[in-house]
Chain A
Amino acid sequence: MSEPTSADTRRLAQEALDRVRFEEEALELSDQVYRVARHLAASREDAEELMQETYLRAFRSWQSYTPGTNLRAWLLRILTNFNIDRGRRRQRAPQTTSLDEKGDYYLYDKLEEAEGKPLDEERVIERLSQDSIVEALSHVPHDFRDVLVLVDIGDFSYADAAQILDIPVGTVMSRLHRGRRILKGELAEEVTG
């Protein structure tokens, strides 16, 4: 075997450096990725499995990431792909159940009705517990929930969510629209019985 040239050595050193930098950046983002993963997954255990599989895949294929692009979106693309495949394998709860979808203002109107007068918007929110929100989110069918979680919790734009899920922007918008309505319907049911 021939001796490595100094150019080879430099290249290897640079590659090692790039890899470490990638890994550190990915790990720094893990809290933010988890926040999304936790609500895409059915349980905490599921979320942990998703995170581990995502980071394993990311560390293996770090070279396919283009430096300077949105790393958080790249990681979430791996995560949602895995989550969707896993869902298909497990044939998760069917998505075809007819959804009792309410209007955009349904939750507001329900709360106002319960209050009997116009709402103090800040105070009425306190009627919803943290658990009730997490619970209601988990009842949103996953096609809608994926988009809802990426945009409303992960703070991704419509375009980013479309890229992550590999669906058209128009689909993101319609699923988001329906997902939010379903979520509000669930919340209304919890607060008003």
Chain B
Amino acid sequence: MSGIAFDPCERCEEMMQPYLDRELTVVEMQEAENHLDGCLYCRRRYRFEVSLRRYIRTAANTQMPPELKAKLSQLRIELR
């Protein structure tokens, strides 16, 4: 990531999403963690982002209808 922000909180905001995606380099990750350790403003937003992501994943977790599953298996048999 090539950050250009000099305000440490702005820099942290830039790194937040890739940090949560585990896509930062080790050095950048350390930088983000150091900042989060000492900044309540960013830490609150970090915790919110973590919960939000978890919540979106849970909310989006729709089950496949059993009839569809059966139809998919059927496709395999029909091709033979």
Inter-chain CA distance A105–B72, complex, in Å, is 42
Contact of A60 among B47, B57, B79 (CB under 8 A): B79
Structural contact, B44 and A119, CB atoms closer than 8 A = yes
Structural contact, A35 and B65, CB atoms closer than 8 A = no
Inter-chain CA distance A67–B64, complex, in Å, is 26
Structural contact, A52 and B75, CB atoms closer than 8 A = yes
Contact of B51 among A38, A122, A153 (CB under 8 A): A122
Bitwise interface map of A from 86 to 129 toward B, beta carbon under 8 Å scored 1, else 0: 00000000000000000111011000000000110110110010
Q: Check A133 for interface membership: any CB of B closer than 8 A.
A: yes
- Distance in angstroms from B32 CB to nearest chain A CB is 14
- Distance in angstroms from A126 CB to nearest chain B CB is 9
Structural contact, B57 and A124, CB atoms closer than 8 A = no
Q: How large is the interface on A (under 10, 10 to 19, 20 to 34, 35 or more residues)?
A: 35 or more
Structural contact, A35 and B61, CB atoms closer than 8 A = yes
Closest B residue to A55 by CB, please name it: B72
Bitwise interface map of A from 47 to 79 toward B, beta carbon under 8 Å scored 1, else 0: 010011001100110000000000000000000
Bitwise interface map of B from 50 to 76 toward A, beta carbon under 8 Å scored 1, else 0: 111101111111111100110111011
Which chain B residues have a beta carbon within 8 Å of chain A's beta carbons?
13, 16-18, 21, 23, 44-45, 47-53, 55-65, 68-69, 71-73, 75-76, 79
Q: Which 4 residue pairs of A and B lie closest in terms of their CB atoms, listed nearest first?
A: A34-B64, A133-B59, A130-B59, A121-B47
Which chain A residues have a beta carbon within 8 Å of chain B's beta carbons?
23, 27, 30-31, 34-35, 38-39, 44, 48, 51-52, 55-56, 59-60, 103-105, 107-108, 118-119, 121-122, 124-125, 128, 130, 133-134, 137, 149, 151-153, 157-158, 173, 176-177, 180, 183-184
Residue pairs across A and B with Cβ atoms less than 8 A apart, 7 shown, are: A27-B73, A48-B65, A52-B72, A108-B48, A134-B60, A149-B60, A153-B60
